[in-house]
A and B are shown apart, each in its own frame.
Chain A
């Protein structure tokens, strides 16, 4: 699309005629003089090419549908601007509908994406991948810090079913045993019970993570009191989705909510 070629001899064809050519109209619409100018003129030729490309996009655009953001987005924009100016009435986001299928334009492309979580329920500074699934969002919002439980979970209820477990080990060349982790179903909840031992590492915060076996997703379950066992709500679907690698990291107090890269122990849940 080079519209910058130098001026050719003679006047350029009118825009409307170029558009007519792009639409493939015949000699009764665009006369021979115009056609021969366009054929000899780089500028007009590239204009026609650009208009043809636009035409192809116009045709393709007929199949496009738009998904309007939920009302919570405008609310968040408004809140984000806060005191910067006065508050206007919130607009109803309009779903841009067009073409014969316009009525369906708000439909979601993937039913599994259908969960729309209001912005206000999210923890603000989450890393992107941490919130990579709706499940992860729910997790991040629901269990910022895991429930710390002291005592034997076997005593806490009659029904404890072990869904999977792993030994934890350090990640160096000669792995040291670092405790264990177990996924337990207790009545209507599923928890990850982490019982670390000899974590070593620098003084500071220990955070428990679940890494997906696909190697590209992870979620934070929460903070672990140093050296103590911890329990974290564990939506069972995470296990089904492949979040099976339990990781305990050392997190410096740097305000960065992402994994520090310093893993003290790790293990993959079997079962």
Chain B
């Protein structure tokens, strides 16, 4: 990324990053029952879904189960998707949140069941607090910030160049606008414009994703 030669990119700053139309097509295709679209959606978003599940649940096999269920649900409830430029990731993340919260609920029910079973043991040292419901509630809270960050990271990664590259250079590698202009061979004004529009674009995605 950092070694890109200047002059690679055109100078026009389109209002969208170029991936949106694509995402809109995928969303429309999914809603219309195109299985290829589901496959492509899986290819693009399963790392996001899986990583959110992994952070929230902590174990690989549960994260995999949730990921699997999310995409099966996505297919089965595809009629509920209203295809717009930003809808698809938000919709997938919404399904992911539901599946995770089902899983956490199941977990605390089981923990309570085990806890009450264990509590019946005379002199059992573990009759006390098995960290059931309250610990799960904390998990859910912690997961909220993680989801935002992961959604932004994924969106940034999926963002077409040069905008994505410019944002990464500015915010992850701390290059000045001038350095970025030099690095990419784009005029300074173009760099600034990409940064501003990119930020606004990410913010819109984030708004949609929030429950």
Contact = CB atoms under 8 A, between A and B. Distances in A.
B110 A171 contact: no
A128 to B, nearest CB: 5
Nearest to B71: A77
B67 interface: yes
A245 to B, nearest CB: 7
Nearest to B128: A215
A54 B156 contact: no
Given A51-B200, A55-B199, A60-B149, A122 B61 contact: yes
Give the most central of B2, B113, B121: most A CB within 10 Å. B121
Interface residues of B, number: 77
Nearest to B129: A215
A93 B61 contact: no
Given A19-B200, A259-B113, A259-B117, A69 B46 contact: yes
Interface stretch (B4-12, B20-28, B48-56): B48-56
Contacts of B167: 58
B106 interface: yes
Interface in B150-182: 150, 152-154, 156-158, 167-168, 171-173
Interface in B27-85: 33, 35-36, 38-40, 42-44, 46-51, 54, 59-65, 67-68, 71-72, 75
A177 interface: no
B126 A214 contact: yes
Interface stretch (A81-89, A147-155, A181-189): A81-89
B132 interface: yes
Interface residues of A, number: 86
Contact of A89 (B39, B61, B110, B202): B39
B192 A20 contact: yes
Interface of B: 1-2, 33, 35-36, 38-40, 42-44, 46-51, 54, 59-65, 67-68, 71-72, 75, 103, 106-107, 110-111, 113-118, 120-122, 124-128, 130-132, 148-150, 152-154, 156-158, 167-168, 171-173, 192-193, 195-197, 199-200, 202-203, 206-207
CB-CB nearest 3 A-B residue pairs:
A215-B126, A62-B172, A61-B153
A135 to B, nearest CB: 11
Contacts of B152: 54, 57-58, 60-61
B193 to A, nearest CB: 7
Given A100-B173, A127-B110, A266 B64 contact: no
A263 B114 CA distance: 11
A29 interface: yes
Given A58-B167, A268-B124, A88 B36 contact: yes
A178 to B, nearest CB: 13
A108 B58 CA distance: 11
Contact of B130 (A73, A113, A216): A216
Contacts of A268: 121, 124
A98 B156 contact: yes
A216 B116 contact: no
Interface string A13-30: 001111110110100010
A245 B115 contact: no
A89 to B, nearest CB: 7
